[in-house]
Structure 1
């Protein structure tokens, strides 16, 4: 398993986490078996939005009765409806009861990451503020009941505004190459069904709002956990993908993990085999992870834009071109100024842009036509290394 660090959290998180969406309706003993198996493979982050008591009970037993550490990304604002199904609530008392029930059933005194559920519009944000839910969440954080406060969203514009408030330290965001084509503020259902996102639209590539969101999270040290990396499996089929060709899970995971700010991908897992397949990403080769073929799709025109895909490797000097360019893009977004976290991340690299000998081997390999040498020159000027 590969791991990444989140600012202020001692334990690094696994790049492949456990999305718990498909645990609903599963027998408790099966849930326990699934989580134990994931932990055995090094998975240490589980997303828990499901409010059903039997799921929470089983997860609590699983994380208590197995060696190791499973960090919980627990949601506020998810409650059980009258039929026992999940509903989204903005009622403060309901939210309190559900969150306290989650802690009781997990038999934990805190969750590592508390996520305010589904902030996709200004209306959503106003509702959690006016209802007192945001104040409640901040109080939980001040008492250590939530270690890091975040929110989930499918809307880059809304998410950016919330990140800019300075109140949040985590973001759970729907992220994959197809969703990144969304240049408008469509309803989440339209984005998820690719309505308005098609190959004949000739989109210009990743939406600027989404690029800016990822870069801001990177600059501020806000960790992004990814939902819907496979677009509910639609990207795995040539017939349903807007690119007209099938991607593999490894390519989808790698695409998400290449975006600035991303620390973990949380696929929904329903069988032991699916857990094995997801964890196998960490043993996949660079060729198996390579998603550069989407550059050929008419809906994905990204010529000249670094996608951080590392297709330019190997560099004879050992420069991690993707990492250098990622930090360079963050600095560009801030007018050439260096956010503290970005500067420190850059300095920590083993090899820097100043080590570039301008041999041009990277230029021949880049499928997106990026002038890597010019980028290394600019990074050397901005970062001084």
Structure 2
């Protein structure tokens, strides 16, 4: 397993986490088996936005004696008091649901308390007016909640909450379908979405990725808009390459499916390469580096994807990005103009010219 540090703190998070949407539909013994398999494999980040309430007592059993090994992402606004999932901004209902979840999880604390699934400004207004946000912040002040998060599919709403400067983590839907305008949750242009990822990295807000496979649609050539099936490893790599991303939450239904997702760590760079998506990127995306590193290896030894990422972040005002750039062993000024990168870039980025631009920007 590989881990990434949450910027707001020292906690280390597994780059592959476990989602709950499909798992929650399974018999309790299968849920327990899958969670324990995940823990044994080094997975430590678990989202609990499930469609069925039965997942909570199952997690309570799976985590007995191992609570400290798990980071739980619990949603303030997901209601399970009826036995099934419901969405609410009513404060009393939220309190009852959180009490019920804590009892069934057999825990007294929540690692990540999330503002749950807000996509509209009106929903955020109701969440605040009803006192749910204040309740979440009170829980953090009391030490019951360790970190504050937000789950959303909408860049505009995400930016509105980021403006409050309360977030440590954001759960956002990232996959090539949504980023390039395909699918029900393809909210915002690719420029708006990528700008959001860069803002999260700049402000130290980690991103936990939901829907990396779009419910399996990206893994099926007949359903995929690319008319070619991507692999789980390609989808995971695509998400992990985005600025700010800390963990990618797959949604397996059992331990066998999770084991297949975890084969990501056995794949070569070529097997993780997702550049096939360049065949359907919109015109506005052509010529923009997505840090896929398909242009690597650079004959001069430049990490072209990372150089581009630091440049984009620095342009957004991230002072630390410039410092990171200056610590690189090879910088844009080391480009020898061989054209290898230009010829290999599936997104038609003029990388040689971009290296000139970056050298002039940083002065090195």
Alignment TM-score, normalising by the size of structure 1: 0.87
Partner of 1:202: none
Please, which of 236, 240, 253 is the counterpart of residue 270 of structure 1?
253
Distance 1:50 1:296, change over 3 A: closer
What is the CA deviation profile of residues 58-97 of structure 1, one whole-angstrom value per residue up to 9, with x for unaligned ones? 2123223349722111111111254x21000111011112
Q: Which residue of 2 aligns with 1:114?
A: 113
Residue 101 (structure 2) aligns with: 102
Report how far residue 354 of structure 1 moved.
Answer: 4.1
Alignment of 1:115-130 (within 5 A): 115-130=114-129
Give the distance between the partners of 1:170 and 1:67, measured in 2 at CA. 20
Q: Which residue of 2 aligns with 1:225?
A: 208
Contact 1:52–1:85 (CA<8 Å) still a contact in 2? yes
Using the alignment, how far apart are the partners of 2:215 and 2:3 within structure 1? 24
Aligned position for 2:8:
8
The answer to whether the Cα contact below 8 Å between 1:243 and 1:299 also exists between their aligned partners in 2 is: no
1:41 Cα deviation from its structure 2 partner: 1.7
Distance of aligned partners of 1:53 and 1:293 in 2 relative to their CA distance in 1, 3 Å threshold? closer
1:377 aligns with 2:356: yes
Partner residue in 1 for 2:335: 356
2:226 counterpart of 1:243: yes
How many angstroms does 1:154 deviate by?
A: 1.0
Matched, 1:254 2:237: yes
Q: 8 Å contact 1:95–1:133 — kept in the other structure? A: yes
Q: Report how far residue 232 of structure 1 moved.
A: 0.9
* Aligned counterparts of 1:284 and 1:77: Cα–Cα separation in 2: 38
- Output the CA distance in 1 between the equivalents of 2:106 and 2:327: 39
Conserved? CA contact 1:36–1:66, under 8 Å: no
Judge conservation of contact 2:15–2:248 (CA < 8 Å) in 1.
Answer: yes
Alpha-carbon distance in structure 2 between the residues aligned to 1:292 and 1:51: 33
Equivalent positions of 1:43-122 (< 5 A) are 43-50=43-50, 54-66=54-66, 69-80=69-80, 82=82, 84-122=83-121
How many residues end up aligned between the 2 structures?
364
C-alpha separation between the residues in 2 aligned to 1:6 and 1:348? 21
Q: Residue 64 of structure 1: SS of its match in structure 2?
A: coil
Unmatched 5+ residue regions in structure 2? Answer: none
After superposition, the Cα gap between the structure-2 partners of 1:48 and 1:65, relative to the gap in structure 1 and judged at 3 Å, is: same
Q: Which runs of 5+ in 1 are unaligned?
A: 184-189, 198-204
Is the deviation greater in 226-235 or in 315-324? Answer: 315-324
Q: Is the 1:51–1:78 contact (alpha carbons within 8 Å) kept by the matching residues of 2? A: no
Identify the residue that residue 182 of structure 1 maps to in structure 2.
181
Q: 1:40 aligns to what?
A: 40
171-180 or 140-149, larger mean C-alpha shift: 140-149
Q: CA 1:97 to 1:300, structure 2 compared with 1: closer, same or farther past 3 Å?
A: farther
Single out whichever of 153-162 and 48-57 deviates more from structure 2: 48-57
CA-based RMSD? 2.5
User: In structure 2, what is the equivalent of residue 29 of structure 1?
Assistant: 29
Q: Which residue is 1:342 aligned to?
A: 321
Worse overlay, 126-135 or 109-118: 109-118
Change (3 A) 1:220 1:298: closer
Of residues 357, 366, 369, the one that matches 2:345 is: 366
Name the CA distance, whole Å, in 1 between partners of 2:29 and 2:196: 40
The separation in 2 between residues aligned to 1:343 and 1:148, in whole angstroms, is 28
Q: Closer, same or farther in 2 for the Cα pair 1:104/1:381, shift >3 Å?
A: farther
Partner of 1:187: none
Residue 152 of structure 1 corresponds to 151
Shift of 1:156: 1.5
Deviation at 1:32, TM superposition (A): 1.7
Partner of 1:200: none
Greater shift after overlay, 242-251 or 345-354? 345-354
